[in-house]
Structure 1
Amino acid sequence: MPSPAVPAPPRRRTTSLATRLFLSATAWVVVILAITGIVLSSVYRQASERAFDRRLNLYLRTIIAEVATPDAAPEQFQSIGEPLFDLPLSGWYWQIVRTDTDKVEPRASRSLWDRKLPRLADQGVELGASGVRQGYVEGPEGQTLRMVERPVDLGADGKFVVTVAGDATEIFEETRTFDYYLAGTFIALSIGLVLTTIFQVRFGLAPLNRISHSIADIRSGRAERLEGQFPVEIAPLARETNALIEANREIVERARTHVGNLAHAIKTPLSVLVNEAAARPGDPLAAKVMEQAEIMRNQVAHHLERARIAARLTVVGTVTEVEPVIEALRRTMEKIHRDRAIQLRTEIAGGLKFRGERQDLEEMVGNLVDNACKWAVGRVLIAATAERGPTPLLRIIVDDDGRGLSAAEQAQVARRGQRLDESKPGSGLGLAIVVDLAALYGGELILGHAPAGGLRAELLLPAA
């Protein structure tokens, strides 16, 4: 038997456009803010170093001026306007070293006590454009010092290297404080930008979401076209979609017209053949013509019906309420089989909808119920339920309390034109038509055994 429905392809995990835009925008915001933060932190650190260096150079020039005054008193070196130079191991130091002789002891600030400062020249630091070396060194107490150093040539009075150093913790603390404030500001800015991006993505893509929901409504039969106002960028898409739906309807309508014309064109020659053959009742050739003409008539009716249904299936958004169709069939069958007192009972779940044409549902269920009434002893049950899932299914069950069918008989009656009992009225096309119709909708007909002992016909169709 054919499968109940075409299996849905495995779903790939896809990310929505809104999510991709949000993630992309968020990533760019984070990257840009991170780069900006690094650059600003570096610029602020350099600015702090330059300010610190200007302060050190001021002390350096003051000390060089004292060195260049030969008659300066020693205590003048200890008074250059900064009390930290007098505080032992304060991290602020100056030092004067004579380089043209080893006989003169270096002079230094009281804060150095008996320690000595390292020389930047010994560490490979080159002189700058202003004739000053500057850099970081390790101080007497393990502090990191920012140091400026300048060689001074006083001619006959000697050559000196004058050094001034300050505790670099001041630079680091200022930079760290700036980084904290910068990080807090950027975090707040990031949150604001992310919220703004969410707002823009959500409201900017709202028209696309509305189109998606409208197309789903059209497919499910709740609407016939895209309605409403759309932004200028989206309006052409809505117009083309509506035009496509209208063109599809026109094509289907033309196909229906052609099918009807073809049916009338073929029926007339067949009727002529049948009439001519009927005029010669004793002629074997006429009997053969009658037999084959009837077969042709059944074949034409069958395939034209398939073509008509296939054309209808291309219409978007056709949905049929199930309960009114089954109730109408129940009343009709009760009247047709009134003389046999067949009891028809229905069990229909509320809100069931068939994704297809009403006349197709009537034809399929009508054939099954009519067949059940023909073979039932006294009771027929019609039940309808829905199965939710990736592909919603409508399940219609028709049970009778007749003699039932064996597996071989079930396979036989599903073939076109096959009848088990010639005493029962019909052409033998009923179940075959149901099988073909169900297959065109992606469903199937399953024959089995009913709990009451008769035949169970289970029809699976797409649900809306």
Structure 2
Amino acid sequence: MKIRSLTARVLILATLWSALALVTIAVAISALYREGVERGFNNLLRAQLYNVVNSVSIGDGESLTGSPALGDLRFSQPETGWYWLVEPIGNYTAAPLASASLGVSNLATPDVAETPFDINYERFYEMKDEVGNLIRVVETEVVLDDQGRAARFRVTGNIEVVEEEIAFFASRLNLALAVVGIGSLILNGGAIVYGLRPVDRARRALERIRRGEAERLEGEFPREIMPLATEINALIESNRRIVERARMQVGNLAHSLKTPIAVLLNEARTLDKAHAGVVTTQAEAMQAQVATYLNRARIAAQRDSVLARTEAQPALERLVRVMRKLNAEVSFDLEVAPDLTFAMEQQDVEEVVGNLLENAARFARSKVVTRLSSVVREEDATEGRRRWVELIIEDDGPGLAPDQIGEALKRGRRLDESKPGTGLGLSIVKEISGEYQGSLGLSRSPLGGLRAQVILPAVSKETA
């Protein structure tokens, strides 16, 4: 799943990196500490071993004598896992010497082939004593006199001491790293939000342009963002020049064609009736086609302009107010969702709404209802890039049968010749909404008359 938020991306990456780094540090420090503690534990056992070696000798009658003083009460307390043991080796018999903590128990001796001595003639191994303590043993063999009589010396320590010390250190280390990690996360989040604040300012400036509240990106931006702001301002200026040039060319073309068509219509009046009808009909068709395609060209030039914006509420209120004055016998109801703005030129909005209101007022018996609300089209729902509004205008007139709807949308087609009009209103609405990539639909209204539904591009300030 793509993460669209730049802040979330940076924060997630920084958090993952920090977590990985802290875990690596915790593992490395714990491993190094364990190594150091075990090395110190082995050195302690070695020192106690040679203390025992220096305290034991062969006395009269080939007996082992000596009383090692190791200065650790654990060697005098039973079942602690801290023992020392001296056993005779060779052809002489003597009673072994052992610490008070070992009592009458004995320690198993592993085979030398499995656990050999090192170059210092020492060997370390682990085993369990008779009460279940996991102990580490350091062992050596020493010749005690000039007759070659030797003894095996062993000193043990309880590994639980090492594990407890390592666990205590690990808990404190993890707590410290957790505090550092949380603090780093907070600081990273604050730094990222602060660092990306200019991007948010640029976004808000673009929103103001999109809503028609500004014509260019304004404000001070960091050195990294300033080139982007400059290019956007240049693009907006270029777009403005294109729109103005297109409007000027449309106006020039309209003026250049207006006179020849007027001449043709005037000349047609001087011809005989048979020829005049043909010329007049064709000239009027030319006039209609020119108006249509000039209007399309004008809309196409401004359709994607970020400056083509019209506030919905005042525009619709103004048109409905005019219709109320012109049709005093008809009630006009208006419902407009708050904070909606058409992404259209005001002239096109008035053309669409005005034609629909005029058509509804012409056939309504007593009531016309106009509603404008925000809507999401299915084809744009996944991208979420475009905003649309739904304009519904319905009346309580006779309405249209399903087979008449298609005919009503044809240019110049009038289904009721008793009513005034040119038959161009609905076709103009269809063409303008189509040029803005919107749509027009006709159906039966719950009021009994015609229901016109138009989808038009818009900007919603609530979601901008």
TM-score exceeds 0.5: yes
Give yes or no for the alignment of 1:399 onto 2:390.
no
Q: 1:368 aligns with which of 341, 353, 356?
A: 356
User: Mean Cα displacement is larger for which, 421-430 or 22-31?
Assistant: 421-430
Alignment of 1:316-355 (within 5 A): 316-333=306-323, 342-349=329-336, 351=338, 352-355=340-343
Provide the TM-score with structure 1 as the length reference: 0.85
Counterpart of 1:92, as a letter, is W
Provide the TM-score with structure 2 as the length reference: 0.85
Query: What are the ranges of 5 or more consecutive residues in structure 1 without an aligned counterpart?
Result: 1-11
Alignment of 1:402-417 (within 5 A): 403-417=398-412
Q: 1:304 to 1:168 in 2, by over 3 A?
A: same
Q: Distance in 2 between matches of 1:422 and 1:88?
A: 119
Counterpart of 2:407, as a letter, is Q
Q: Distance in 2 between matches of 1:115 and 1:450?
A: 103
Q: Tell me, yes or no, if the aligned pair for 2:57 and 2:65 is still in contact at 8 Å.
A: no
Tell me the equivalent position of 2:33: 44
Q: Tell me, yes or no, if the aligned pair for 1:274 and 1:293 is still in contact at 8 Å.
A: yes
Q: 1:440 aligns with which of 435, 443, 453?
A: 435
Q: 1:14 to 1:32 in 2, by over 3 A?
A: closer
Q: 1:57 aligns with which of 40, 46, 65?
A: 46
- Cα deviation for residue 409 of structure 1 reads 2.8
- Cα deviation for residue 359 of structure 1 reads 0.8
Q: 1:193 aligns with which of 166, 184, 188?
A: 184
Q: 1:459 to 1:147 in 2, by over 3 A?
A: same
Tell me the equivalent position of 2:384: none
Query: What are the ranges of 5 or more consecutive residues in structure 2 without an aligned counterpart?
Result: 382-386, 460-464
User: Mean Cα displacement is larger for which, 293-302 or 241-250?
Assistant: 241-250
Q: Deviations over 1:418-440 (max 9, x none)?
A: 12345544432221001111222
Q: Deviations over 1:9-50 (max 9, x none)?
A: xxx874422222222222222222222222222222222222
Q: Distance in 1 between matches of 2:421 and 2:118?
A: 112
Tell me the equivalent position of 1:32: 21
Give yes or no for the alignment of 1:266 onto 2:264.
no
> Whose relative contact order is higher, 1 or 2, with alpha carbons under 8 Å and at least 6 apart?
1
Q: Distance in 2 between matches of 1:122 and 1:165?
A: 18
Q: Distance in 2 between matches of 1:112 and 1:449?
A: 103
Aligned residues: 447
Tell me the equivalent position of 2:217: 226
Counterpart of 2:196, as a letter, is L
Alignment of 1:28-427 (within 5 A): 28-67=17-56, 74-101=64-91, 103-122=93-112, 124-153=114-143, 156-282=147-273, 284-285=274-275, 287-333=277-323, 342-349=329-336, 351=338, 352-376=340-364, 379-387=366-374, 391-399=387-395, 401=397, 403-422=398-417, 424-427=419-422
Q: 1:69 to 1:246 in 2, by over 3 A?
A: farther
Q: 1:92 to 1:456 in 2, by over 3 A?
A: closer
- Cα deviation for residue 450 of structure 1 reads 4.8
Counterpart of 1:434, as a letter, is V
